Amino acid sequence: METPDGAIVELERYRRMLATLATFNPDGKDLRWAFAHLFESYAPPHASWFLDETIYKFGTKLAVAPEPILIHNAVSQPSAEEDVIDGVHWLREAP
């Protein structure tokens, strides 16, 4: 999902995702994890492009640790540990 509309819209989107997941019944399915990828792209003066990605992870009652996917990024892999930042990108200053 693209996230160009800011914090108020993303807070509502998250609330709706949680409401949907609360009513989702995975019984009869071997579903253990669901991942939602939220993106925003920028064209800052110091780079040709920049992509920010926030990942929500949801585990079902069948989920076991550790998670089955070691690297969660869908578009690009972090090049270093400092490239991974906790929190959601729309609450940080744009690059």
| pLDDT tens string 18-61 | 899 888 888 888 888 888 888 888 888 887 887 888 888 888 87
Query: Based on the structure, what is the number of domains in the chain?
Result: 1
Where b means 16+ CB within 10 Å and e means fewer, 21-39 reads eeeeeeeeeeeeeeeeebe
For residue 45, being part of any structural domain is answered with: yes
Residue numbers of the domain that contains 25 = 7-91
Residue 81 has a pLDDT of 56
Tell me, yes or no, whether 39 lies in a domain.
Answer: yes
* Average pLDDT estimate for 67-90: 70
- Residue-wise pLDDT for 2-11, tens only, equals 787 888 998 8
Give domain status of residue 76, yes or no: yes
Element (H, E) at 51: strand 50-59
For residue 73, which of 64, 65, 63, 85 has the smallest C-alpha distance?
Answer: 85
The two tokens of residue 20 are 């949907």
